[in-house]
C-alpha cells in the first residue's frame, strides 16, 4: 500500500498529489498480485513520455491506459483506445512486474 511510486528517472517531481492519491486508491482496489496497478504503469509511462519518444507499441499501451482513466480527455485529443494487442498486453504486464520489483527493492527512480 505504501510502496514508493516508481517514475522515470529524473521525473520524480512530476507526480502530482492527485496522482499519488489515485495510486493509493488503485492499490486498495487492486490487491497486489506481485505487480503494480494499471494506474501506476500509466504514471510511469507519463513521466517517461516527457523524456523519451515512444515507439508505436508503447504509444498504444499508454493511450490504452490513458483512455481507461481519462476517457473524455483521450477522446478529445484523438488517442482513445479500448484495447491493445496480445503482444502489447504482455509488454504492459512486464512493465507492471518491473515496477513492482522496483518498489520492493532498494533501486532508484522512486518517489
Predicted TM-score (pTM) of this structure: 0.86
Mean pLDDT of 21-37: 87
What is d(CA 96, CA 36) in angstroms, rounded to the nearest whole number? 5
Helix (H, G, I), strand (E, B) or coil at 70: coil
- CA–CA distance from 98 to each of 51, 81, 105 (Å)? 19, 24, 11
- 83 pLDDT above the threshold of 50: yes
Give me the pLDDT at residue 88, please.
98
Q: What is the mean pLDDT of the chain?
A: 90
Q: How confident is the model at residue 1 (pLDDT cuts 50, 70, 90)?
A: low
Helix (H, G, I), strand (E, B) or coil at 79: coil
Amino acid at each position: 500500500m505504501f510502496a514508493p511510486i516508481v517514475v522515470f528517472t529524473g521525473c520524480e517531481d512530476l507526480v502530482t498529489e492527485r496522482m499519488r492519491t489515485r495510486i493509493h486508491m488503485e492499490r486498495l482496489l487492486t490487491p497486489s498480485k506481485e505487480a503494480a496497478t494499471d494506474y501506476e504503469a500509466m504514471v510511469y509511462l507519463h513521466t517517461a513520455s516527457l523524456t523519451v519518444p515512444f515507439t508505436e507499441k508503447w504509444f498504444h499501451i499508454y493511450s490504452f491506459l490513458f483512455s481507461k482513466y481519462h476517457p473524455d480527455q483521450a477522446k478529445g485529443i484523438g488517442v482513445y483506445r479500448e484495447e491493445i494487442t496480445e503482444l502489447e498486453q504482455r509488454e504492459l504486464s512486464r512493465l507492471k512486474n518491473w515496477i513492482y520489483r522496483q518498489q520492493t527493492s532498494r533501486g532508484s527512480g522512486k518517489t
